[in-house]
Every structure is written in structure tokens, then in C-alpha cells.
Amino acid sequence: MKAFEYHRPHTVSEAVELLSRHQYEARILAGGQSLLNMMKWRLAAPSVLVDANRVAELSSIRKEDSAVRIGAMVRYRDLPSGVPEACGAIHDAVSVIADFQVRNLGTLGGSCCQADPFGDMPNVVVALGAEMTARSVRGERQISVDDFFLGPLQTALEPDEMLCAIRLPLGSARTGSAYEKFSWREGDFAIVSVAAAIGLDSAGSAVSGRIVVGGLGVGPVRLGRTEEVILGADKGADVIKAAADQASREVDPEDDRIYGSARYKRELVRTLTAKALARAWNRAENHKGSATR
Amino acid sequence: MGYIGRNIARREDRRLLVGRGRFIADMQFAGMLHARILRSPVAHARIKSVDLSAALALPGVAAAISSADTRSLRRYGSRHTGWPVGDNAVFLEDKVRFVGDEIAAVAAIDEFTARDAVELIEVDYEELPAVVDPEKAMADGAPIVHDELVRAGIIPSNVMATKTLRAGNIEAAAARADVTVSARFYCNRPVCNPLETHGVIALWDEATGELTVWSASQAVNLVRNGLAEVLDIPASKVRVIAPDIGGGFGVKVGLFAHEIIAALLSMKTGRPVRILLDRSEELSSCTSRCAQIRYSEMMLDRDGKILGWRERVVQDQGAYAYSGLSVLQMGSIIGILPYKIDNVLIDTFCVYTNKNSGGAYRAYGVPQTSFARDSLVHMAAKKLGCSAEDIMRRNIVRNEECPKTMSLGQIIDSTGVDQCLEKVVSEVDRLGWRKDPQPYHGVGFSTVLKHSSARHPRMDYDHDSVRVCLSSDGSISVETSACPQGQGMFTTLAQMVADRLGGSLDSVHVTGGDSSGPRGLGTWGARTITITGNALHRACGEARSKIAKVAAHVLEVDESELEIADSIVSVKGGSNRQLSFAEIVGICERHGKRLPKGMEPGPIDVLSSYDSPTSNPNEDGHANPTMTYSGAAHACYLKVDPETGKVTLLGYIMAEDCGVAINPVIVEGQHQGAVAMALGQVLYEGLEYDEAGQLLNSSLRDYYVPLATDIPDLSMVHDCSVPSTRTLFGQRSAGETGNPPPMAAVANALEEATGIRFTEMPITPDKILLALRARENAGGRS
Amino acid sequence: MKPIQVSMTINGQAQRADVDTRTLLLDFIRDAAKLTGTKRGCNEGKCGACTVICDGLAVKSCNMLAATADGCSVETVEGLGTLKQLHPIQEAFHKHHGLQCGFCTAGFLMIAKNLIDQGLSPDHDDIRHAIHGNICRCTGYQKIVEAISEAAQTYLPAAAE
């Protein structure tokens, strides 16, 4: 690590004040499970580190009208108990992120701000159509998750802004989501991952759908044409297969010398899309409070 | 007798369990400096200049060195090559030959400062084209890795050595064969990756000219001799100590640059200097398993008798020789066992490339050959319409044929390998693994006979020493030349001492890992249990006979009337006439008049060494490089996910012959560890380089060591031991035998599961799934 | 950069030191508190050798700044048993030959203790899953799993506290 000045604010106001003063020189330290390694490898070298671990207001999960608001510093391990089952993809992802020790420190907000193209949570929040709440001394703003991830390790946050919360819409009664990831070993970064979310009308036809692929090295990628395949469709093996085939055509993976050729990753996209979509669809159908067929 | 063969709980454990182990990183010295090495970011370059001034100007920096400080040093590595000069030196010839090669080093007051200072060193590189593919490295016009050795006429090109091993008449065998199977096999480049990285502390005393070095080393005497030679100081003034070592597996054998660098920095500053390599250095810059391309061919008659074995082997040696030549030769000679093959022709080529150097890695070169051997057995079985185990049975050496000299000179003294094979086959059947074949499930077998000590092909010595000394309280100190790294060797050796000497186990204290102790080559090549074990047998035997002689004289009986147990010498037949070891030592040391006539008063203090009755290869490569051979047969049961290519290991059976097992639970732990490492190699691991020689995986995040969730239950270990007739306790080695068989056992199980033969390790999900898809597209079975 | 003062409780003892801001929790434990039982295996949060329990949760101490742990209560391997009186989990590792070189051992003991305290079952598959953040290169994991399984049955956290 390069030397840095350390601050440990207790409020968001203090934190954004520091960001405002130091701009690009400063970084927020959340759970530290990615940033500290980047600093050890000298891939990140902030001269001011703003440790958010004592900012209590960022650690709560609140139910709001038709949404759940997750503080940016909520640890992975605390997500399952606070996030409704309707956000199945979050639950899926927590159980495959790294290991127990990392889940005890790593945070949802930290993972989003890290925007690691191989990370789990960026895909999931995109699939869930999250709204990201950012604050700076200039005020608070909401950023649609579709505009939040700009590329590998890049987000829409301004240098003086801090991510404070992730709002997950709970949507209509019949929604479901799922996350599927493939890595050689348990807990590794994804070689390919797919997050899927689907909303059904009372007749069981898909009225909304989001399919997001990760692990391809470019950040979460929404597959628009794959989503079109499922919109308006009724559940069935055919539609899931058609969507999976479309997904494997729609992605543009690169050859990776170690973990997988482009052809292999296309195969995984097909397999994982089918699995994630099928599970999301089942969950939407079984969503509590929804009409039964 | 009473301790050998018992599961005595390890004496090493307690302090390690409570966090009181003392590893290099745990040691502190007043005024100690922390050093970091600047390593090459490029694979091949001439270093035009190194500017240390900015680093030296940083507050807290005590010293910095580059090639300007090392030009007068002697080269090292000639012991491994047999050449007049070695191919290695610190900052050699102002050139870097792989990503991670050393360029300069800084010593500073703390790690932070040392790291900051290393970043301030300015280096002017003249990049040279890198040679990464060993077969391309053999071609005319390829970039030359060691141009200085070529200029000096020591080697002609990147091909640093060739050697042909031959027996019988391979052409005649080929003509007679009913079936021939062949393939190109690739053995990958995993690194040992002990949990503790390499580390060293050097302390130079200018007043006395003594250099003391604490190093995480498996071979303190080799490091001591190497340091003395390179630094040109008397070996008598160099002491190397190995404290607790956090795993080795081969990668901590021999002299490494960081040991010399720490010594140089200590000499320059007059202060203790510590270097701890970080994980990326452990991966990039220490040695790796010798990667090999083997074009292997097996000839058989229609009954499944193996008539001939022909190979062309290209070893991707990397930048420096280390023990690569030895790995290549030993692995080829021993790896074709346990089958009786009369006609053999193996052409070997050891080739320099711009990569991490090949070196010692658990089981040396045997896994490389074993992978090819038992893959071909399985392929031949398909052609012959029989089972792989039929061919194995038809050709395996049997205990009733022993002692037997095999075609390349390997002498099998006795063996349980034939029983091992029968055991795993019957266990597989008992468990019903093949009863109702399910899609994408498969079972594979492999066998091995592996060395239990390793005479280096270019060294004419292979010894260890043991000093046994009794104190006046009767306690027994045993100093050895062993440098264990987790094998529980001090528990095991203590059991051997207690039985051989008749001492109580608690009174035996075993030490090692100190070059001021007895001389010997160290703990590697599966040699401690056999070579140290035999030296220990001798030393204890001599001490015991002195004890018996004194006791017989004092008790006025014939020696044959005595029995010795639990540190008491007593007259047989229930008499209460007895002497304790303490009393006997007291008589020897302080009451010389009571000694038998002619016996010199003095302590019971015996130093014995043992050099193995083994041989170096002759011109046809024939040799018996080891005391004895441990045997094993394994079976692997797995399934493949046809949607992802992922392999799940469902079961694993080992049957092992390690001769007389001194401590069976320790032996079992060794087998399990060896198998897990091998499963990592065959399914996940290996350094990967791009075309420019850039290392692509130098962190544990992208270099995949198997986790607990990747390893199946390994509790099925069957003991099929037959005592060795050449070792003095009947013992054979246990630490490495488990390592070779998983390679082919997995590949064979995969063929059963998928119908596809995989010949390149690691066999990754990517390779498996694409092969399955390619076959579907070709209209094969789905 | 000027040092910062960090205080925490380690195994019940107050520890305080002025350290470089870059100091990791691992460095603080080893260098400031002089407790070297916690090991650095990879320094990148992958091998788990540096696992300690911080405010009741297992963490990899190489992936946490000492400053972040300021004011926390930390348990390390030195807080388990003693040479004379091993903790039941340590006893199980000894009995089952759950360690060879011993370098990864503290990390396995601490994750095992933390998860047994939270009700880890003795089922081998569950245990393998529980320890997948810790690497051992010596044992092939078999005897570690067996040791933890026994400990999960015999060690009752409530009684031990």
C-alpha cells in the first residue's frame, strides 16, 4: 500500500465533507474486501481513506412502500434476514459470494462501488432494477441502476459522491428473481453469472423481465433482445430454451487463457440463463400473496 | 519393540496448535532490517542500467544492491548440471530471463519503507523476444535464454541437455506388437505453494566472519555449502538453521537467490536482514513442477503384455536448471514402473524457456510419466477389448518375483504393489461403483512404484547422519540432518529410536534442521524415512551395543541374558537385577573403573551416517536411484456435469505399500495430502503464460489450489504393505507415493464418463465441455 | 504520514499502539500485540490463515485495517487453549492428526470455533462448505474435517464460555 491519511467519520455528512475536500484523492473504505487488495497491489492508491465502517446510518435495511432500502454498509451476512424473499437473486448471491469470513465484512454498497466485472452483486442489483442513492455536499440524488455501472471498476458516482443506499423495488405482486453463477471452485469470482428477474400478470404471462450477464469482463450486461423473447410469453420449456439460446448469441465474450474460451462462456451463458430464468419464473408464480393459477 | 506401528499422537502438535510455532516470520532480532526484491516485469530483457539513488535517498532505507554488487560472486547451479559453471547467480549477467527474475534489492527499517523504496528503483530494459514454447525454443533461430553459456561453448542452444534411455530392442518390439497406442501428453506447471512462503533471515558477524542464516529450507546443508561457495567464505563459518517450516513439498530444496541477497544485505549493513517472499513471488519466482510434453507410445501383444515403451520427452525447463535434469531422468526411469517392459527407448530433451524454472515438486518426475503410462494402458484396453486393470495385472511386478531387476536397472527389493492393485479393484466392485453405469459417471485406475530416496543423477553421494547421545539422566538426544516441514518426522524418528535403542519414548528428543548438526542432504525425495532412518538404525545399534556391553559387565551376566526396554536393562527371567540408562551413563562418564576392560571412559555419543547403495545412470540411462520403492494403486470415481463441464469427485480409494509403517495415522495423512495436491494439478492448477511470457496467474485468486469443497472423502486408505528387504526397519517412504496415481486415474475415469480421452493437464471444465459439444456436433453419443 | 493510535482488546487484554495507517489488523496482532500465532499465508484474503474472530465474527485479518478494528474485541488462537489445557477444538485436531506443518491451523481453528458457536453441524459436507475460505496444502482436508466434526459434537460453546 501507498501511504494514506485515514479518517473515520460517524456520519454521512462528515464523510461527504471529506470527499468534497479531497475529490479524486479520496476513496471510501467499506467492507474492504476488494479495495484493500487493490491498495496492496498498488492498483489503487488513494492518499485519503474515508473509513465508512462507523457510519451507523448506512447499516440498516428499511421496508418502504413497494421497495426495500438497503444501507450501503449492510454486510452480506445481514442481507438474507432483512431482504424479502421476493428478491430471491440477493439470497442466491449471498450464498455464493466468497466465503464466511468475507461475507462477515463485505458490503452491498462496497461491491456496487467496486463495480468488479466479475463480482456478483452488480448483476443482481441491475436485474432487480435498483435505484442507487448517492449523496454529496451538493445534495442527494437517485441514480437508476441502468445508468450506474459505466464499465469495469467505473460507476456514475462523482468523486465527491458517496453511495448511501440501494433501493430495490418490490414491484407487482408476482415477481421473482434468481442468480446463477459458475466458478470452478466454491466462492470464486464468476466465470459467467446470470441474474434474472421476471414479473407476471394475473394470467401468468411475463410483463417485465431483466436478464443480466456478468463475468465477461465488461461489467453487468443487460441482454435486451433476450428480455424481448420472454416479454408477453407464457412459461414453458420452449420459451426458456429460446431465451437461453438468444442469450448465448447476444453476449460477446472474450477468450480467457485460463478459465474459458469465448465458446465455452457462450455455452455457460446458455446454461445459466436457462437455470436462472426457470427459477425466477417459478418464484414469481409462487410469490406469496399472488393469485394462484 | 513396541512403538513402531502405533498411532502415537504427534509431539509436534501442541505448540503449533496454541500458536507457539516459530516460523521465519515470527522471529525478531534487535535492529533487524526488512528487505524486498525488485523483480522483472518482463520475460526476457537485457538490463541496461539500474538506478538505486532515489531508493537510497528514501528515509529509512539502509542499503540497496544491484548487479554492480554481485559481479564478483561465484555462480551456482553447476551441481545440478554437471557443468563447470552454474547457470544461476544473483542478478546474473545484467539480464532477466523470466517474469519474476531478480534485478535489485533494498533493505529498510520496515516492510512499508522497503516496498516504497523498491518502487523508486529505475531500470532501463532492452526487451528481447521471449521464448515460451519449449518446442519452438528448440528450433534454429529461437531467442537464446542463456546466450552467455552458448558463447562460452557450454551448451549449443536452448537445449541444455539430451539423454537417451534404452533397454532391449524397441524396433523389434514394434514389429511384434499387435496393438500400439500413442498420444501427446502435456504435464502442466503447478507450484508447490506451501502455506508459508519462502523466508530468510541473515546475520553477518563482521568480527568473527560468521554468517548465520535462518531459512525456510528443506536442505540446510545444501544452503550452507551453496552460500559458502557463492560468497567465498569458509563453510565452517556458515550456519544455516531451519526453524518451523510451513510446508515444502520440494520447493524449499536447494539454494535460492533470496538467501544470498539477505546475506549480502546483512554484510553490507552489519544488521540482521529478513526477506519474506509474498504470495505472488512464491508463485512467480520460486520453482514449479517441471512441465513436459511427452510423445508416448506403448506396444502390446494381443494378450495385453506390454512389449515396448517409446517416448520423446521435451521438458519445459524455464529459465534456470535447478534440479530439472534430475527430475527428467529419474521421472523417466522410475515412472514406467510398476510394469515389466523389456524394450524401452526414451529420448529426453531439457530446454530453457523464459519462464519460472522447473524444480523439485512432490514425487519429482514420476507423475509426468505415470500420467502418460496409465492413460495409454487404458487406451490399449479399449483397443484390446479388455479392462485397464487386466493389462495392469498382466504386467505388474509381483512380490514373488522379487528381488527383481527391471529393464532400466531399477531393483525392486520387495513390493506390495500387486496387492494394492487387487485391493482397489475389489473395493471398487464391493462398493458397486461400476455396477449400474450411469451417464457421465466413470471409474479410473492407476498404479505407481515410486522412489523412497533419490540419488541425484549427477551427485556421487546420498547420505544422512544421525548422532545419538545419552545424558546422565538417561534422556536420549538424537540430532539428525532431517529438515521436516510438517511430516511429523520427529515423532516418527523418535518411535524408531525408542524401539531400536530400548529407550522410553518420552525420553527421546529428536532435532534437525541445523547445519551445525550432523551432515546430510535434508528432507526431500522421500529420503528421510529411509536414509535418515537407516543412519538412525546404525547409530542406535551402536549405542545399544555399548549399553549392553556395560550392563553385562556390571551385572555379571552374558549379553544374551539381557533385555532392554523403556530405558532399563534387566536380566531376563524376572530377576530384579537391572540398570537404568541413567545409571549406565553415569558409569560410562564418571566411573570408568567399573567399565569392561579396554572400554574408554566417556559419554555414550555415537555419530553414524548412511549412504544409500544406489547408482547413477550409465550411458544407457540405467540406474537404481533409490533404496526401495513404495507402491500404490488408486481408483477414482467421478461425474461430469454435461452442462458446465464441471467434474465432481464422488469417491477415491487408495491402496498403499509403504513397507513397515512407523506411525500409521501419520502415513495416512501423507497419502491424503499427496492425493489432494495431485487432484489440484490434474483438475485446476498450473502457471499459465501468454505468448510474451507474461505470467497470467500470480495470486491465489487466479491460481486455483483445491479447497475442502473440491476434495472428496479421502478416508478410504488401505494398507497393503510388504516390508522392504533393503531398509533396516523394513520402511519405505509415504509422503509422495500418493501423488502420481491421481493424474491418470482421473483421466481414465473421465474417459469412462465421457468417452473422450484428455491428454493435457489441467483438465478444466472448459476443455471438457467443448470436447463434449464437439462430439455432439460430430454426431457421436450424447 | 503521521501514525494513528489504535486500541483494541485482544483475548481480553487491552492493546494500544501508534501505527502506520496502512497497518492491517493482522500486522497489529502480530507486531504490536506480539501474538504471532495468527499467520500471513497470502495477504490477499484468500487462504484464511489469518482468520481471527472480531466482535464475534470470523474475519480475515489481512483484509481489515487495524484502524477499522479500533475499539473491537478480537479473539486469536492464543485465546483458545494453552499448552497444558488445549481447547476442545485443538484437542480434536491433535487427536485426529488435523495438522501437519501447522501454518494454516490457527485459521482453521478460528473459523471452526466461530461456526461451531453458531451451530455448525458435524456433517462432513457442511463442514467442507464452512471451511472453504481456508486453504490447507498438507492434509487434503480429510483429517481437518474429521477433527471439526468431532469438535462440533463434543464442544459445547455454552459450557465453555
Residue C64 and residue C13 in one domain: yes
> How confident is the model over C114-123, as pLDDT tens digits?
999 999 999 9
User: For residue A291, what pLDDT band results from cuts at 50, 70 and 90?
Assistant: very low
Task: Annotate A218-278 with DSSP letters as a single string.
Answer: SS-EE-HHHHHHHTTPBP-HHHHHHHHHHHHHH-----BTTTB-HHHHHHHHHHHHHHHHH
C151 has a pLDDT exceeding 60:
yes
Q: What is the pLDDT of residue A292?
A: 32
Residue C8 and residue C73 in one domain: yes
Residue C98 and residue C46 in one domain: no
3-state secondary structure at position B368: helix
Gap between the Cα atoms of B633 and B630, Å rounded: 11
**To probe the interface with A, which of C63, C72, C111, C135 has the most A CB atoms within 10 Å?**
C63
> How confident is the model over A31-56, as pLDDT tens digits?
999 999 999 999 999 999 999 999 99
Residue C111 and residue C133 in one domain: yes
Number of domains within chain C = 2
CB atoms within 10 A of CB B461: 11
Task: Tell which of C31, C51, C79 closes a domain.
Answer: C79
Gap between the Cα atoms of A268 and A260, Å rounded: 10
User: Is B575 exposed, middle or buried, given 0-12, 13-18 or 19+ CB atoms closer than 10 A?
Assistant: exposed
Gap between the Cα atoms of B172 and B362, Å rounded: 36
Task: Tell which of C22, C57, C79 closes a domain.
Answer: C79
3-state secondary structure at position B262: helix
Residue C13 and residue C70 in one domain: yes
Q: What is the pLDDT of residue C132?
A: 98
**Amino acid sitting at position B706:** P
Residue C96 and residue C63 in one domain: no
Does B247 touch chain A if contact means CB atoms closer than 8 Å?
A: no
Residue C35 and residue C13 in one domain: yes
- Is residue C34 domain-resident? yes
- Is residue C160 domain-resident? no
Residue C102 and residue C128 in one domain: yes
List the chains bordering chain C where 3 or more Cβ pairs fall under 8 Å: A, B
Dihedral angle computed from the Cα positions of residues B471, B474, B475 and B478, in that order, rounded to the nearest 10 degrees: 60
Which segments of chain A belong to CATH 3.30.390.50?
A: 175-285
Q: Is the peptide bond before B403 cis (omega within 30 degrees of 0)?
A: yes
Partner B, chain C 53-112, Cβ-Cβ below 8 Å: 76-78, 80-83, 86, 90, 93-95, 97, 99-106, 109
Tell if the CB–CB gap between B666 and C97 is shorter than 8 Å: yes
Name the grid cell of A251: 453476449
Distance (Å) from the alpha carbon of C98 to chain A's nearest alpha carbon: 21
B76 DSSP 8-state letter: B
Does B724 touch chain A if contact means CB atoms closer than 8 Å?
A: no
Give the contacts of A41 (CB within 8 A, at least 6 positions apart).
none
Give the contacts of B304 (CB within 8 A, at least 6 positions apart).
B380, B381, B384, B386, B390, B391, B394, B395
In chain A, how many H helices and how many E strands? 11, 14
A290 has a pLDDT exceeding 50:
no
Gap between the Cα atoms of B183 and A153, Å rounded: 44
Gap between the Cα atoms of B121 and B105, Å rounded: 9
CATH number, domain at C131? 1.10.150.120
Task: Annotate C104-117 with DSSP letters as a single string.
Answer: SHHHHHHHHHHHHH
**Option in B119, B643, B688 nearest A258 (CB):** B688
Which of the residues in chain B have pLDDT under 70?
1, 780-782
Gap between the Cα atoms of C136 and B195, Å rounded: 7
B326 phi, psi to nearest 5 deg? -65, -40
Instruction: Please check whether residue A82 is in contact with residue A70, taking contact to mean a CB–CB distance below 8 angstroms.
Output: yes
Q: What is the pLDDT of residue B638?
A: 98
B508 phi, psi to nearest 5 deg? -95, 125
- Is residue C161 domain-resident? no
Contact residues on chain A for B112, CB-CB shorter than 8 A: 1, 3
**Amino acid sitting at position B141:** G
Gap between the Cα atoms of C144 and C146, Å rounded: 5
Domain range A57-169, CATH class = alpha beta
B702 DSSP 8-state letter: T
Tell if the CB–CB gap between B711 and C141 is shorter than 8 Å: yes
> How confident is the model over A221-243, as pLDDT tens digits?
999 999 999 999 998 889 999 99
Name the grid cell of B234: 569458509
Gap between the Cα atoms of A240 and A88, Å rounded: 19
Tell if the CB–CB gap between B764 and A271 is shorter than 8 Å: no
- Length of chain A equals 293
Distances in whole angstroms, Cα of residue B538 to Cα of each of B14, B16, B88, B453, B622: 30, 31, 38, 18, 29
Task: Tell which of C26, C53, C79 closes a domain.
Answer: C79
3-state secondary structure at position B655: strand
**Option in C65, C115, C130 nearest A32 (CB):** C65
Q: What is the pLDDT of residue C161?
A: 47
Q: Confirm whether B736 is a catalytic residue.
A: yes
**CATH T-level topology, domain A5-51:** 3.30.43
B396 DSSP 8-state letter: B
Contact residues on chain C for A3, CB-CB shorter than 8 A: 1, 20-22
Gap between the Cα atoms of C161 and C146, Å rounded: 24
Contact residues on chain A for B646, CB-CB shorter than 8 A: 182, 184
Residue C74 and residue C94 in one domain: no
Does B646 touch chain A if contact means CB atoms closer than 8 Å?
A: yes
> How confident is the model over B597-627, as pLDDT tens digits?
999 999 999 999 999 999 999 999 999 999 9
Instruction: Please check whether residue A26 is in contact with residue A46, taking contact to mean a CB–CB distance below 8 angstroms.
Output: yes
- Is residue C159 domain-resident? no
Which segments of chain A belong to CATH 3.30.43.10?
A: 5-51
**Amino acid sitting at position B16:** L
Q: Is the peptide bond before B338 cis (omega within 30 degrees of 0)?
A: yes
> How confident is the model over A103-162, as pLDDT tens digits?
999 999 999 999 999 999 999 999 999 999 999 999 999 999 999 999 999 999 999 999
- Is residue C105 domain-resident? yes
pTM of the model: 0.97
Q: Is B739 left (phi over 0), alpha (psi -120 to 50) or beta?
A: alpha
Closest alpha carbon within chain B to A270: B643
ipTM, 2 dp: 0.97
**CATH T-level topology, domain A175-285:** Enolase-like; domain 1 (3.30.390)
Task: Annotate C28-95 with DSSP letters as a single string.
Answer: IIIIIS--TTS--SSSSSSS-TTEEEETTEEEEGGGSBTTTTTT-EEE-GGGS--SSS--HHHHHHHH
- Rg for chain C (alpha carbons), in Å? 15
Gap between the Cα atoms of A265 and A216, Å rounded: 8
Q: Is the peptide bond before B762 cis (omega within 30 degrees of 0)?
A: yes
Task: Annotate B493-510 with DSSP letters as a single string.
Answer: HHHHHHHHHT--GGGEEE
Which residues form the domain of C20?
A: 4-79
Residue C63 and residue C116 in one domain: no
Instruction: Please check whether residue B736 is in contact with residue B526, taking contact to mean a CB–CB distance below 8 angstroms.
Output: yes
A190 has a pLDDT exceeding 90:
yes
CB atoms within 10 A of CB A54: 17
Q: What is the pLDDT of residue B670?
A: 98
Q: What is the mean pLDDT of residues A79-102?
A: 95
